[in-house]
Structure 1
Amino acid sequence: MSASDPAKMPGPITFAVPFYRGLEYLARTVASVAAQTAPEWRLLVCDDSPGGDAERVLDCRDERVRYVRNGRTLGMAGNWNRCLDLADTDLVTLLHADDELLPEYTQVIRAGAAAFPDCAALFCGARVIGPTGEPVFSFVDWVKRVLAPVGRRPRRLSGHRALARLLRVNSIMCPTVCYRRNVIGPRRFDPRWRCVLDLAFFARVLADGDELVGLPDVAYAYRRHAENATAGYTQSLLKFVEEAALYDEWAAEGAARGWSAVARAGRSKVMVRLHLVFRALQDVARCHFAAAWPKAQLLARLSAPDIG
């Protein structure tokens, strides 16, 4: 099938924005939706903020734009799930409220969805930007590009071998992902997690036998900044603690199902340890020894032999 055949193209994409804070970033996010080269999109903002501020940066005169304020604070997983529940299109991208789409995102994803009509979700490449949109270096993203380089063709991920590869190197930039609701069905993000809910979801999709497709196009701008939730969770070490717990769960499930590669990947926690080492060395280089110490302690615990 030709992805460019209009008769085979899927319907519009809903850009569902789970908002909590950061109006200055949200304004840029909304502008990036309006700047899409393809018009087949809808914008849904689910406002989880205490003040209900997000509506101030929306043009609700556009019939494609919808604003919903949550009756109570749902938290990250709850608001992500609400976005999926309220979207009225099959294709849904959970566009983070501090990121930006590149102009061709809609076109790229819809073409991919036409070419792979049975996949559960599609994702694309991303550039990493700083608070004002300038390119920034990210060690984690650089390592992922080295260990899991993006080719020139789409990557189809399915089955337990792909799950093992995902656990070894999670090369999926979460906010680039476009979900296909008629395939993911009732599956939603697990509220047990605050940092790894995306990886937990992708792992479950692969374990259930569905397919994820990675597109080689760079069509998203992921913003790293100090106020970012991921940055806060990394600083507090919650990110590493949750990653280790999730990996332990998959080590156990992989062993129970006879998926030896999954079990090994879960036990090894290579990326978790590597990231911890980098952060600890970064602290030492800056003479922040008090900050490096808990990272070293956590690394030692993760590196201890499993005698259970």
Structure 2
Amino acid sequence: MASPQLTFAIPYYRGLDLLEKAIQSVFSQTQSDWKLLISNDGGPDPALDALVARFADSRVTLVHNERNMGMAGNWNACLDRADTPLVTLLHADDELLPNYTAVVMQAVADHPDATLYYCQASVVDENGQPSFSLPDRVKRFIQPQPVGPYTQLTGEAALTRLLRGNFIFCPTICYQKSRLGELRFSSDWRFVLDFDLTTHLLLKEHTFIGINEVAYAYRRHGSNATVEYTQNRLRFEEEIQLFNQLADECARKGWQQARRVAQAKTIIRLNLLYCALTDSLKGHLPNAVQKLRLLTT
């Protein structure tokens, strides 16, 4: 058998039950030529080693970081430790669908010069059941409508579309390490680090390939970092700061359409209004007021 070309790297801190489901989803792949790396960033659960040992497979490696590296540090460690040409950062609370490896490897064969490959995702709740999310539904209308098996994103047009609404589910991305080079996630961010990387790749004229097939289950649940950072407004504060930076960078590059979209921040403002309305309906008026104040930023 040829050496595996793809590593599933799981940055882990807590959530052992969901991690087990994530690992099982790797073993459920229709293609078995993969490696699995679990990078434990000082997680508090002593049962982690026993859980991983139960799978007893030479393709699986568990690494304990010597110190807590934070999200960006652990994500970068996953990229650096992977010894295969392709790396997917599988989130510890998500699951791959059985076809993920097959569709990604086919996309790489069909488009070998792309920097990253992403697929469509289904959104599920903590029990794995379909979950409705209005922002996710809106993004379906923002993303390019599929024509054939793939969508190619590159240049200003791609960046402009992403600035109108980030329709790429970050953990679905498979990175081609040789094309990624030295670019990594920035420790300046806690929420937008994935969007920061993808937008700057587009600014550097990299090519993305979207796979127009669902191959990933993205889990939204109460302890999800997205939920936490939405409630405490950190996501919006970081998004506003990043969009301001991107507007300046687009102006220097002469990408005026992308600059205007970044400056307008329409998708951020719409989400702030939606979240403020949701907070109001739940009786969380102080949270709603604080979100509305960000509209003037």
**TM-score calculated relative to the size of structure 2:** 0.95
Residue 214 (str. 1) matches residue 207 (str. 2): no
Deviation at 1:287? 2.6
Q: Which residue of 1 aligns with 2:264?
A: 268
> Whole-Å Cα distance in 2 between the matches of residues 77 and 20 of structure 1?
13
Asked if the contact 1:125–1:218 (Cα under 8 Å) also holds between the matched residues in 2, the reply is yes
Residue type at the aligned position of 1:55? D
Q: Which residue of 1 aligns with 2:287?
A: 291
Helix, strand or coil at the partner of 1:209: coil
> Whole-Å Cα distance in 2 between the matches of residues 217 and 49 of structure 1?
35
Asked if the contact 1:150–1:216 (Cα under 8 Å) also holds between the matched residues in 2, the reply is no
Asked if the contact 1:47–1:69 (Cα under 8 Å) also holds between the matched residues in 2, the reply is yes
- Cα-to-partner distance string for 1:225-261 (whole Å, 9 max, x where unaligned): 1101111111110000000000000111111221101
Deviation at 1:56? 2.8
Change (3 A) 1:69 1:148: same
Deviation at 1:10? 9.6
Residue 278 (str. 1) matches residue 274 (str. 2): yes
> Whole-Å Cα distance in 2 between the matches of residues 55 and 164 of structure 1?
44
Q: Which residue of 1 aligns with 2:31?
A: 38
> Whole-Å Cα distance in 2 between the matches of residues 160 and 33 of structure 1?
35
Asked if the contact 2:280–2:288 (Cα under 8 Å) also holds between the matched residues in 1, the reply is yes
Residue type at the aligned position of 1:142? R
Deviation at 1:291? 1.8
RMSD: 1.6
> Whole-Å Cα distance in 1 between the matches of residues 267 and 61 of structure 2?
39
Q: Which residue of 2 aligns with 1:63?
A: 58
Residue type at the aligned position of 1:15? F
Unmatched tracts of structure 1, length 5 or more = 1-5, 303-308
Asked if the contact 2:88–2:175 (Cα under 8 Å) also holds between the matched residues in 1, the reply is yes
Corresponding residue pairs, total: 294
Residue type at the aligned position of 1:276? L
Range that drifts further, 104-113 or 148-157: 148-157
Residue type at the aligned position of 2:273? V
Paired residues for 1:35-184 under 5 Å: 35-51=28-44, 53=46, 54-58=48-52, 59=54, 61-148=56-143, 150-153=145-148, 154-184=150-180
Deviation at 1:77? 0.3
Paired residues for 1:211-250 under 5 Å: 211-250=207-246
- Cα-to-partner distance string for 1:82-110 (whole Å, 9 max, x where unaligned): 00000010110000000000011000100
Helix, strand or coil at the partner of 2:183: coil
Range that drifts further, 160-169 or 206-215: 160-169
Unmatched tracts of structure 2, length 5 or more = none
Asked if the contact 2:29–2:99 (Cα under 8 Å) also holds between the matched residues in 1, the reply is yes
Q: Which residue of 2 aligns with 1:29?
A: 22
> Whole-Å Cα distance in 2 between the matches of residues 49 and 240 of structure 1?
28
> Whole-Å Cα distance in 1 between the matches of residues 56 and 183 of structure 2?
33
> Whole-Å Cα distance in 2 between the matches of residues 228 and 93 of structure 1?
19
Asked if the contact 2:16–2:45 (Cα under 8 Å) also holds between the matched residues in 1, the reply is no
Deviation at 1:271? 1.1
> Whole-Å Cα distance in 1 between the matches of residues 281 and 248 of structure 2?
37
Asked if the contact 1:10–1:110 (Cα under 8 Å) also holds between the matched residues in 2, the reply is no
Change (3 A) 1:202 1:119: same
- Cα-to-partner distance string for 1:251-278 (whole Å, 9 max, x where unaligned): 1111122110121111011111111111
Identity %: 44
Change (3 A) 1:52 1:86: farther
> Whole-Å Cα distance in 2 between the matches of residues 56 and 29 of structure 1?
16
Deviation at 1:169? 1.6
Residue type at the aligned position of 2:173? V
Helix, strand or coil at the partner of 2:127: coil
Deviation at 1:289? 1.4
Residue type at the aligned position of 2:8? F
Q: Which residue of 2 aligns with 1:306?
A: none
